[in-house]
């Protein structure tokens, strides 16, 4: 029989004895797989590589530093042999066969009684690939499938109803849809409901199933579609109805994104919540413009400030060393620059304003504290924008 004609099966190895014979890197990979499956793992080999030794030191396996003995097969449920010596592997496999044990041979797929596929695990999905005993081909296929699952190109949504709803607070990144994390993209592909912000990567919404409920909670200046309390109630309500909810935000949900308030509302209602960090625009947008927020010999620190949440303590801000990064502060640009100078920042300190960072419409305006407000007005600079104050602002691509 060949691997292609075998019978595929998933095994529950929790607390079941599994034997791995061999001490090299291949045996270490086989060991790791059954350890992760919760098995009681015994490794037999006269010498072992560092990964196996470390696993024994951590108490994950029982290590027997000696040659294989057929009594090692007693009470086992599964056997892996990967010694690199054909005669030893044949002996292990023959002993397992006599005891009606499944034995996976690393040296000869055609002579084996069982085969280990290449496995991709994405969320709750497990995909096993066997390419007729060709491990390289199976690994390549597995990796390609995993990428498509992680990026939402293959369907991940469940079709069965459930009483266990869930909320994922997903950071969508700084603007470019390709900068959402693979974890965030996977959660989006699994969603039944998506509650999206104005600055979230909205182009990804076009790839959702037609029956996914999409709710716009975007907040634009002077035009809030939903209050924060209404958003909290909405995501809790949908989750309590057994639906998988993604709260899709721009940047990172915990960087001036009120994600902590939404997480608290979910926990108070007994709703499971997962936070998926995103790439914050405070750092990514300057980087996309070639502006480092820290640079050796220039500055070793930075501060991120909300430009629209109430009054700002300009005396404290002006006294800070390093780069100042203002989010949502474009409407107060003239006030910010004037007050920083009043409280001691030099008038010729460089300032950069980056619009639509990481997108094809990205535009950078560079001037000084004295001139940036007028220059931005001349150019018609608009939100979304990140303001960078400090010597690094002059180091970009503008």
- Higher confidence at residue 208 or residue 167? 167
* Segment 79-113, tens digit of pLDDT: 999 999 999 999 999 999 999 999 999 888 888 88
User: Three-class SS of residue 227?
Assistant: coil
pLDDT for position 309: 72
User: Three-class SS of residue 375?
Assistant: helix
pLDDT for position 17: 97
- Higher confidence at residue 237 or residue 133? 237
| Alpha-carbon torsion (166, 172, 177, 180), positive or negative | negative
pLDDT higher than threshold 70 for residue 327: yes
pLDDT for position 161: 57
Rounded to an integer, what is the distance from CA 20 to the centroid of its chain? 32
Q: What is the mean pLDDT of residues 147-153?
A: 76
CB 289 within 8 A of CB 354: yes
- CATH class of the region 3-116: alpha beta
Q: What is the mean pLDDT of residues 56-71?
A: 96
Residue 171: pLDDT band by 50, 70, 90 thresholds? very high
Residue 6: pLDDT band by 50, 70, 90 thresholds? confident
Is the domain spanning 283-395 CATH 3.30.950.10? The answer is yes
pLDDT for position 153: 74
- CATH class of the region 166-279: alpha beta
* Segment 231-244, tens digit of pLDDT: 999 999 999 999 99
Distances (CA, A) of 256 to 174, 194, 322, 371: 13, 20, 20, 28
Q: How many helices (H) and strands (E) does the chain have?
A: 11, 19
pLDDT for position 159: 62
Residue 178: other Cβ atoms inside 10 A: 12
pLDDT higher than threshold 80 for residue 71: yes
pLDDT for position 149: 79
* Segment 214-264, tens digit of pLDDT: 999 875 554 457 899 999 999 999 999 999 999 999 999 999 989 999 999
pLDDT for position 224: 54
pLDDT for position 330: 94
Q: What residues are annotated to the active site? A: 197, 219
pLDDT higher than threshold 90 for residue 21: yes
Residue 322: pLDDT band by 50, 70, 90 thresholds? very high
* Segment 274-317, tens digit of pLDDT: 999 999 999 999 999 999 999 999 999 999 999 887 789 999 99
pLDDT for position 155: 73
DSSP letter for 80, please.
Answer: E
Measured distance CA(266)–CA(195) in Å, rounded: 14
pTM assigned to the model: 0.69
Strand order in the sheet with 40-44: 61-64, 40-44, 17-21, 78-81, 102-105
pLDDT for position 142: 82
pLDDT for position 150: 75
pLDDT higher than threshold 90 for residue 9: no
DSSP letter for 189, please.
Answer: H
> For all residues of the chain together, what is the average pLDDT?
90
Q: What is the mean pLDDT of residues 146-160?
A: 73
Residue 398: pLDDT band by 50, 70, 90 thresholds? low
Q: What is the mean pLDDT of residues 23-50?
A: 94
pLDDT higher than threshold 80 for residue 151: no
334 sits in which H/E element? helix 333-342
Measured distance CA(235)–CA(278) in Å, rounded: 19
């Amino acid at each position: 029989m060949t691997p292609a004609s075998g019978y595929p099966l998933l095994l529950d190895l929790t607390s079941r004895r599994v034997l791995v014979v061999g001490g090299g890197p291949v045996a270490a990979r086989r060991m790791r797989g059954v350890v992760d499956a919760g098995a009681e793992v015994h490794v037999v080999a006269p010498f072992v590589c560092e990964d196996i030794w470390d696993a024994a030191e951590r108490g994950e396996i029982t290590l027997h530093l000696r040659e294989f003995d057929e009594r090692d097969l007693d009470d086992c449920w599964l056997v892996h042999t990967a010694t690199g010596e054909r005669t030893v592997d044949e002996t292990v496999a023959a002993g397992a066969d006599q005891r009606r044990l499944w034995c996976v041979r690393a040296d000869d797929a055609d002579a084996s009684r069982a085969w280990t596929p290449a496995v991709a695990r994405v969320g709750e999905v497990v995909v096993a690939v066997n390419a007729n005993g060709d491990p390289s081909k199976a690994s390549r296929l597995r990796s390609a499938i995993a990428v498509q699952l992680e990026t939402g190109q293959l369907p991940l949504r469940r079709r069965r109803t459930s009483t266990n709803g869930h909320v994922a607070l997903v950071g969508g990144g700084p603007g470019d849809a390709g900068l959402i994390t693979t974890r965030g993209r996977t959660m989006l592909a699994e969603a039944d409901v998506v509650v999206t912000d104005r600055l979230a990567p909205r182009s990804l919404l076009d790839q959702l199933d037609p029956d996914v409920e999409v709710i716009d909670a975007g907040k634009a200046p002077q035009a809030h579609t939903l209050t924060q309390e209404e958003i909290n109630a909405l995501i809790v309500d949908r989750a309590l109805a057994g639906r998988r909810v993604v709260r899709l935000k721009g940047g990172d949900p915990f960087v001036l994104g009120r994600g902590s308030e939404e997480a608290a509302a979910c926990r108070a209602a007994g709703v499971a919540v997962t936070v998926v960090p995103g790439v914050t625009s405070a750092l990514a947008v300057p980087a996309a413009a070639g502006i480092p927020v820290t640079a050796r010999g220039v500055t070793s620190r930075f501060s991120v400030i909300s430009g629209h949440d109430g009054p700002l303590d300009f005396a404290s801000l002006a006294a800070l060393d390093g780069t100042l990064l203002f989010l949502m502060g474009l409407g107060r640009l003239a006030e910010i620059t004037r007050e920083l100078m009043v409280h001691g920042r030099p008038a010729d300190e460089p300032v950069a304003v980056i619009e639509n960072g990481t997108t094809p419409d990205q535009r950078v305006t560079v001037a000084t504290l004295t001139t940036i407000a007028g220059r931005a007005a001349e150019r018609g600079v608009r939100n979304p924008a990140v303001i960078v104050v400090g010597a690094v602002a002059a180091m970009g691509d503008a």
